[in-house]
Amino acid sequence: MEGENHFLPPPLKIFVASRKNILATWGDVIATKESGRLPISAFVGKVLAVKESGVAIALILIILFFSLTCKPFLTTFNLLNLMRQISITGIVAIGVTLLMVSGEFDLSVGSIFAVSGVTVALLARNLGINLWFAALAGLSIAAFLGLINGLIVTVTKIPSFLATLGTMMAYRGLALILSKGWPVANLPPSSFYLITGGKILDIIPTPGIWVLIFCFIFCIVLDHTGYGNQAYATGGNEEAARLSGINTNKVKLINFVLTGIAAGTAALISLGLLESAVPVQGQGMELEAIAAAVIGGTSLAGGSGTILGTLLGAIIMGMVRNGLVLLGASAYYQNALLGMVLVVAVIINVQFERRR
């Protein structure tokens, strides 16, 4: 197993090494099976030890269900489509996960998504600014709105749930003010659309690539940096973290800014796909993002959760919607079933947690 890692670039090597225990557990299973003994409890114990096991099992079950009940589900075309569909919510969910791990919430992500998108579109259309520079401005505004969220929470100590409930409404108002309530379309042509919302080699949707890159980066930050450890500590037991010398306010501030940037990035992808932005976009996105994180095993109390789990959670949500559409089910079924999926996922995650 060791030798296989050497040709990978260092960051990838570290990523693979951390998941090595998954490979190791399978190796153990095969070894014990060959020797004739397979104690089921030891096997179950090893599976449980992998943090994403709950959501991974749920994902496998869902894939099985849909691939058996409707033929077009497991096709390359459909799966690539799926990656594009979940990319926007997925990126936001990944940002929100890091914040939730450190113990805070951001309900304003949908509104930041709208302000960013509208700002970029307006700068490009009304002021003729190059779309790439406009995009940079959009990301900066998103980071700034996240910073405001963070400052409100760390300075006034208002619970983030309430603070961002307020900013959610304020930022939504800002999006409407900037755009005067109108959609912003008829944007100038640019390479931007292809890179953020186009296709590579005519098949692979770039949004899918962006969400994977985002997942990779945030995975490294949360799992493999000192900062990630401090984020877990801040969310797990803030007083303990502070007594250990961690600047918990700084950690929270940074995470709020990163969440804002995630919402801004999602806005750029959306702009690339639709070549337009509307001030009412992203309504309800905050709950979708939190749902994906929770399905993926993130705790609402803070201190636990993984980026990979959230990505799988976002994929599950996308698959359920996608599968139901392919089955021809009425659109009303989607939310009903997604709600059930969420509750069942939480129950499974809690059960796995108890046995860990």
Q: Is the CB of residue 113 less than 8 Å from the CB of residue 277?
A: no
Residue in the structure block whose two tokens are 């749902």: 291
The smaller minimum CB distance to another protein, of residues 39 and 245, is found at 245
Q: Pick the closest to residue 300 from 223, 219, 256, 235 (CA basis).
A: 235
Q: Pick the closest to residue 194 from 184, 186, 204 (CA basis).
A: 204
The smaller minimum CB distance to another protein, of residues 3 and 36, is found at 3
**Member of 3, 6, 10, 40 binding another protein (CB under 8 A):** 10
Q: Which stretch binds another protein (CB under 8 A): 24-32, 90-98, 227-235, 269-277?
A: 227-235
Residue in the structure block whose two tokens are 């493999």: 224
Can residue 304 be called a binding residue for another protein (CB under 8 A)?
yes
Q: Which two tokens stand for residue 94?
A: 């990944």
Q: Which stretch binds another protein (CB under 8 A): 89-97, 126-134, 216-224, 258-266?
A: 216-224
The smaller minimum CB distance to another protein, of residues 12 and 60, is found at 12
**Member of 127, 203, 243, 331 binding another protein (CB under 8 A):** 243
Minimal distance, residue 304 CB to another protein, in Å = 5
Integer angstrom CA distances of residue 132 from 135, 271, 285: 5, 12, 25
**Member of 226, 284, 332, 355 binding another protein (CB under 8 A):** 226
Residue type, 64: L
Can residue 303 be called a binding residue for another protein (CB under 8 A)?
yes
Can residue 240 be called a binding residue for another protein (CB under 8 A)?
yes
Side-chain half-sphere exposure of 7, counting CA atoms within 13 A: 3
Minimal distance, residue 183 CB to another protein, in Å = 41
**Member of 245, 284, 330, 355 binding another protein (CB under 8 A):** 245
Binding to another protein, residues 281-300 (CB under 8 A): 299
Q: Which stretch binds another protein (CB under 8 A): 88-96, 204-212, 230-238, 288-296?
A: 230-238
Alpha helices in the chain (DSSP H): 10-18, 20-34, 40-49, 53-69, 76-101, 109-126, 131-156, 160-179, 192-197, 206-224, 226-236, 238-243, 248-274, 285-295, 307-326, 331-355
Task: Sketch the per residue contact string, 11 through 40, with another protein: x for CB under 8 A, - otherwise.
Answer: x--x---x----------------------
Minimal distance, residue 53 CB to another protein, in Å = 16
How many whole angstroms separate alpha carbon 341 and alpha carbon 119?
35
Can residue 225 be called a binding residue for another protein (CB under 8 A)?
yes
Q: Is the CB of residue 218 less than 8 Å from the CB of residue 307?
A: yes
Residues that bind another protein (CB under 8 A): 10-11, 14, 18, 220, 223-226, 228-230, 232-233, 236-237, 239-246, 299, 303-304, 356
